[in-house]
Amino acid sequence: MARKKQIGRRVEGWKTKSWYTVHVPESFGSTDIGETISNDPDNVVGRVMNTTLGEVTHDYSKSHIKMRFRITNVAGDSAHTEFVGHEVTRDHLRALVKRKTSRIDAIFPVTTKDGRKLRLTITCLTISRANLSQVHAIRKTITDMATTRAKETDMSGLVQEIVSGELAKEIFRSIKTIYPVRRVEIIKSKVETPALA
Domains of the chain: 2-88 (3.10.20), 90-191 (3.30.479.30)
Q: How confident is the model at residue 183 (pLDDT cuts 50, 70, 90)?
A: very high
pLDDT at 53: 95
For 108-135, what is the mean pLDDT? 96
Dihedral of CA atoms 174, 66, 91, 140 in degrees, nearest 10, equals: 20
Q: Which residues of 28-45 are buried (b: 16+ CB within 10 A; e: fewer)?
A: beeeebeebebeebeebb
- Mean residue pLDDT of the chain comes to 91
Higher pLDDT, 33 or 6: 33
pLDDT at residue number 12: 52
In this predicted structure, the answer to whether residue 10 has a pLDDT above a threshold of 80 is no
Q: Provide the whole-model pTM.
A: 0.87
Strand partners, 110: 118
**What is the model's pLDDT at position 16?**
72
Say if residues 171 and 178 touch (Cβ distance below 8 Å). Answer: no
CA dihedral sign of residues 25, 30, 36, 42? positive
User: What is the C-alpha to C-alpha distance for residues 107 and 87, in angstroms, rounded to an integer?
Assistant: 13
What type of residue is 118? L
